[in-house]
Amino acid sequence: MITFFVAFLVSLMVALGLTYVVRNQALAWGWLDQANSSRKVHVRPIPRLGGIGIVAGFFAPLCALFLVDSGVGHHFRLHTELISGLFMGGAAIAALGLYDDLRGAGARLKFSVQLIVALGLYHLGFRIEVIANPFGPELTLGALSLPFTVLWMVGVINAFNLIDGLDGLAGGVAFFGVSTNFILALSRGDVLLCLLMAALAGAILGFLVFNFNPASIFMGDTGSMFLGFVLAAVAIKTSTKSGTAVAMLVPVMALGLPLMDTLLAVVRRSLLGRPLFSADKEHIHHRVMSRMVLSHRSAVLVLYGLCGLFMLTALGLNFANSAQSALLLCGMGVVIAVMMRKLGYLDLGRAGDMQQRRQRNIRLRSLVKEVIGAVREARSLQEVWSAVRLLSEVLDVSRQELRFQHLRDGLLDGVVFETQRAAGLSMPFELRLEVKDEEVVLGSLLLVWRDGRNTIDRDEELALELVADAVAERAARLLAVADADPARVVVLRR
């Protein structure tokens, strides 16, 4: 136990110190997560890259074992496949997250790296070969072991990425998963897994000092994907040492909240015709805040309580027989069903218009893709406006305005594009989106409806934010050309 405590303490201190340094440097260098989207919950720019502290905190005591001549260190060094998988796979995932936090990584790059890492782990022996069935004999996967293992790894990594939506939530959820694995490993006398979980627990708590609401730094994709990777890999090792009656059920239950949230997101977006990788504010943590009318911190504490319930269920499954496991699963199923009903996921009254919303969203996605493509190919601000004008008729807008502003030689140049159409006589409802490139405001996109609405559909809002982002990106390049070679560009005046 002393070794575990030392690993925990070293990891805690490294994570504390490094997170503090990274936070200050991120503030100094402008590495901030901007509050410039309706998808964001925070209202001010917050430093990101806090995941660096988690990664370093986790690896610090493990690297020290290579230098210390001890029984634990010798035992650690003997497990070359486990060490290679965690170190190489963890480094690859952390590097991917760091690149995404600094430069932005597309879904294709993310999934490619995650797939390669998952295949590498499978080659090193991280394999799911048996699925538990408390109601009957276990299921042997056979040839399906590879795709199931890859799906598990990629799924858990992205589940933690999705759950990272409130201050302290992803770290807290991970801590409950770590605690479950630590208790299970301790009960089996698995020194190595205990050591790994003690190190990760210290790294998480060291980071949570700065991340719990109100957060002064975010973990970013560096932290969320790394946590998902380590827990997914350790879960496989935990399941292979379980009795077949609970193989894979325990880690699934231990990570119940992020896995359930990911499954709901996939089903929701598929039924509504939304892109699977689009962002929205209908995750479990968002609905806990809105449906239960809770503050940011209260919502996180409620979800901590739910994670605690998942943790107790996972531990119960590990020590229960088949009949008791079935009862535990049925009881947890009732709890989940009640929660889904409370949060509005099982609202049958909305099922009738789902097909209409799906068809509308598919048309909207097609329109947005066309508009963004035209914006990116525009060779002037006039052509940018010509592309954006397509929105007015499809969205039944009565007035649409695109305004650009640009500071040159101490003077504010600008241009305004506007179109109006007869579309209702009700009181106007306005939506104004900033056209913003990083910290620089380049203008705004204004849309006005007179069809009697007093709010905007969430799918339309997300689509318009994507258009505004594309306009900002293209306008920044066009205005940069104007600064480099003024003779090639007509000066814009309001």
- Per DSSP, the residues of 151-219 read HHHHHHHHHHHHHTTSTTHHHHHHHHHHHHHHHHHHHHT-HHHHHHHHHHHHHHHHHHHHHSSSPS---
Predicted pLDDT of residue 40: 53
As to burial, measured by CB atoms within 10 angstroms (0-12 exposed, 13-18 middle, 19+ buried), residue 235 is buried
Say how far apart CA 320 and CA 250 lie, in whole Å. Answer: 11
Q: What is the pLDDT of residues 134-181, one digit of tens each?
A: 666 777 888 899 999 999 999 999 999 999 989 999 999 999 999 999
Q: What is the pLDDT of residues 299-321, one digit of tens each?
A: 999 999 999 999 999 999 888 87
Say how far apart CA 138 and CA 127 lie, in whole Å. Answer: 16
Task: For residue 252, give both structure tokens.
Answer: 């699934």
DSSP state of 492: P
The arithmetic mean of pLDDT across residues 21-42, rounded, is 72
Say how far apart CA 450 and CA 433 lie, in whole Å. Answer: 18
pLDDT band at 459 (very low <50, low <70, confident <90, very high): confident
The arithmetic mean of pLDDT across residues 406-424, rounded, is 74
Q: Please give the single-letter amino acid code of residue 353.
A: D
CB contact at 8 A, 94 and 55: yes
Which residues make up each annotated binding site? 161, 221
473 in helix, strand or coil? Answer: helix
Predicted pLDDT of residue 492: 42
Which residues make up each annotated binding site for Mg(2+)? 161, 221
Which secondary-structure segment (H or E) carries 327? helix 322-342
* Residue among 451, 475, 452 at smallest CA distance from 392: 451
Predicted pLDDT of residue 351: 62
Model-level pTM? 0.83
The arithmetic mean of pLDDT across residues 269-292, rounded, is 83
pLDDT band at 408 (very low <50, low <70, confident <90, very high): low
Q: What is the pLDDT of residues 230-267, one digit of tens each?
A: 999 998 887 765 544 455 678 888 889 999 999 998 88
The arithmetic mean of pLDDT across residues 216-226, rounded, is 94
Cis, bond preceding 214 (omega within 30 deg of 0):
yes
Q: What is the DSSP string of 377-425?
A: H-SSHHHHHHHHTHHHHHTT-SEEEEEEEEEETTEEEEEEEEEE-----
Phi, psi of 268 (to 5 degrees): -60, -45
For the cut 80, the answer to whether the pLDDT of residue 426 exceeds it is: yes
For the cut 80, the answer to whether the pLDDT of residue 189 exceeds it is: yes
Say how far apart CA 128 and CA 107 lie, in whole Å. Answer: 25
Predicted pLDDT of residue 212: 92
For the cut 80, the answer to whether the pLDDT of residue 268 exceeds it is: yes
pLDDT band at 207 (very low <50, low <70, confident <90, very high): very high
Q: Where are the domains of the chain?
A: 2-346, 370-488
Predicted pLDDT of residue 3: 83
pLDDT cut 90: percent of the chain above it: 45
More confident residue, 488 or 87: 87
CATH number of 370-488: 3.30.450.40
As to burial, measured by CB atoms within 10 angstroms (0-12 exposed, 13-18 middle, 19+ buried), residue 23 is buried
Lowest mean pLDDT among 201-205, 232-236, 410-414, 480-484: 410-414
The arithmetic mean of pLDDT across residues 281-285, rounded, is 87
More confident residue, 70 or 3: 3
* Residue among 52, 84, 93, 54 at smallest CA distance from 66: 84
* Residue among 44, 86, 448 at smallest CA distance from 232: 86
* Residue among 141, 35, 139, 51 at smallest CA distance from 91: 51
Predicted pLDDT of residue 494: 35
CB contact at 8 A, 93 and 157: yes
Predicted pLDDT of residue 490: 43
Predicted pLDDT of residue 282: 84
Predicted pLDDT of residue 276: 74
CB within 8 A of 406, min separation 6: which ones? Answer: 412, 413, 414, 442, 479, 482, 492
The arithmetic mean of pLDDT across residues 336-358, rounded, is 79
Q: What is the pLDDT of residues 355-384, one digit of tens each?
A: 788 888 888 888 999 999 999 999 999 999
Say how far apart CA 208 and CA 217 lie, in whole Å. Answer: 9
CB contact at 8 A, 35 and 43: yes
For the cut 70, the answer to whether the pLDDT of residue 407 exceeds it is: no
Task: Give the N- to C-terminal CA distance of the chain in Å, as an integer.
Answer: 72
